[in-house]
């Protein structure tokens, strides 16, 4: 769990997604372009991650985790080094972000989630939550590191610094201490008193095959729910600062509200994981999504610094579910046999929703001159997602229906 925390602290999202705001302005100057064109790079990254995540999960299911993750970290390091030397035209930047999404996707929760789920059964939700809190921690420290290096030596050195953090911290942790399953060292998963699966990682595992799972209504229902929630929550947060400044709130106060979102996302990851171990997970998730709907409603009703902070906190609690609640639900509904690939599909839907939400909020603002229409749509979708989550059946019922 600690290795997964460290690996995700210096994974693809903290290093390339959460630091992008630091690089946007200097990149726009270096490429003689506007910020909107530069921002397309990270949107392209999201799309590629969403499309390639199932393949990363498939590799881990069949080849084991350590080699796949270590190779992905090395490839991601190479992309970051290449970014330090990138030159115009703009498509060079787009290409490197796309390649990073393709070969760096195995440094995401898709692979680490499978490893943690292998090691924990009784407290799987909490373990996933603590491990994926590394993403929130990385989102906090990597922009600070990038800005520190940029201020002193320029944006190219900042990219080299990020490359070094992945290569010198995440890679040794994974290469030296990551074990894909407890059986590799003669142990059983936490909470299991007798062997339930062969010791070989290539042997058949309990649960449904990927083909069986994708034929169920539950699988597609989960993918659609998390796509919609990602679009609504991340779209709202991505445009929170301009929304607040449009209403006369200072940029500093708006940034503080956004920081509160990041803080509560960490709380959400750990808290959600703790709760789903003790309460039927769809009920916990439905409450989280209902809270996000309340947050969006607050932004629609009264845009003040106090309501914006509360809204950001509620949205942060919901977004914390993407990397611990999704793998928890996948493992409980479909078992561990093809867990990484199925999680890759669901995580891919989430990431594609993230990219779509950022664009659709901007398009809605351009069309109507305000964020009212996008927020109204987000409110409606979040309410529907909360209700749809409550209609998910028992874990064992899905497997029985697939037979």
Give all domains of the chain, ordered by start, each with its CATH number.
2-185 (1.20.1250.20), 210-402 (1.20.1250.20)
Q: Is the pLDDT of residue 199 over 60?
A: no
Which residue is it, tokens 């595992």? 205
In Å, how far from its chain's centre is CA 176? 25
CB atoms within 10 A of CB 279: 12
pLDDT at residue 144, as a whole number: 85
pTM of the complete model = 0.81
CB atoms within 10 A of CB 102: 18
Q: What is the mean pLDDT of the chain?
A: 86
Residue closest to 269 by CA, chosen among 288, 253, 283: 288
How many residues appear in the chain?
403
Q: Is the pLDDT of residue 402 over 80?
A: no
Q: Is the pLDDT of residue 310 over 70?
A: yes
Read off the pLDDT band of 401 (50, 70, 90): low
pLDDT at residue 398, as a whole number: 62
Whole-angstrom Cα distance, residue 172 to residue 201? 22
pLDDT at residue 191, as a whole number: 66
Read off the pLDDT band of 218 (50, 70, 90): very high
* Cβ contact 4:127 at 8 Å: no
Q: What is the mean pLDDT of residues 5-22?
A: 88
Top-ranked range on mean pLDDT: pick from 2-6, 28-32, 249-253: 2-6
H helix or E strand, kind and range, residue 376:
helix 372-390
Read off the pLDDT band of 255 (50, 70, 90): low
Whole-angstrom Cα distance, residue 399 to residue 180? 25
């Amino acid at each position: 769990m600690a290795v997964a925390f460290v690996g995700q602290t210096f994974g693809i999202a903290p290093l390339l997604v959460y630091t992008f705001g630091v690089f946007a302005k200097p990149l726009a100057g270096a490429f003689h372009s506007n910020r909107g064109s530069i921002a397309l790079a990270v949107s392209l990254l999201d799309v590629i991650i969403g499309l390639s995540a199932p393949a990363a999960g498939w590799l881990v299911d069949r080849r084991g985790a350590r080699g796949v993750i270590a190779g992905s970290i090395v490839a991601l390091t190479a992309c970051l080094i290449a970014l330090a030397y990138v030159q115009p035209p703009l498509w060079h930047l787009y290409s490197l972000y796309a390649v990073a999404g393709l070969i760096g996707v195995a440094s995401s929760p898709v692979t680490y989630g499978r490893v943690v789920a292998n090691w924990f059964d009784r407290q799987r939700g909490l373990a996933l939550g603590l491990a994926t809190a590394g993403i929130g921690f990385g989102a906090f420290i990597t922009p600070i590191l990038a800005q520190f290096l940029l201020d002193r030596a320029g944006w190219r050195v900042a990219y080299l610094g990020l490359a070094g953090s992945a290569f010198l911290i995440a890679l040794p942790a994974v290469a030296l201490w990551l074990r894909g399953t407890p059986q590799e060292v003669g142990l059983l998963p936490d909470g299991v008193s007798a062997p339930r699966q062969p010791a070989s990682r290539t042997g058949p595992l309990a649960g449904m095959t990927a083909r069986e799972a994708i034929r169920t209504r539950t699988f597609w229902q989960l993918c659609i729910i998390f796509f919609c929630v990602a679009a609504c929550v991340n779209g709202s947060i991505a445009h929170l600062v301009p929304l607040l400044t449009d209403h006369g709130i200072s940029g500093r106060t708006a940034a503080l509200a956004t920081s509160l979102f990041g803080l509560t996302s960490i709380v959400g990851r750990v808290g959600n994981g703790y709760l789903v171990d003790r309460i039927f997970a769809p009920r916990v998730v439905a409450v989280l999504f209902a809270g996000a709907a309340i947050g969006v409603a607050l932004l629609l009703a009264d845009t003040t610094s106090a309501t914006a902070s509360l809204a950001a906190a509620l949205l942060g609690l919901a977004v914390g579910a993407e990397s611990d609640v999704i793998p928890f639900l996948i493992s409980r509904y479909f078992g561990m046999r093809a867990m990484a690939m199925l999680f890759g599909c669901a995580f891919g839907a989430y990431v594609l929703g993230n990219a779509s939400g950022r664009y659709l909020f901007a398009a809605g603002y351009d069309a109507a001159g305000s964020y009212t229409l996008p927020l109204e749509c987000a409110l409606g979708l979040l309410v529907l997602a909360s209700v749809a989550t409550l209609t998910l059946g028992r874990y064992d019922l899905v497997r029985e229906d697939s037979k």
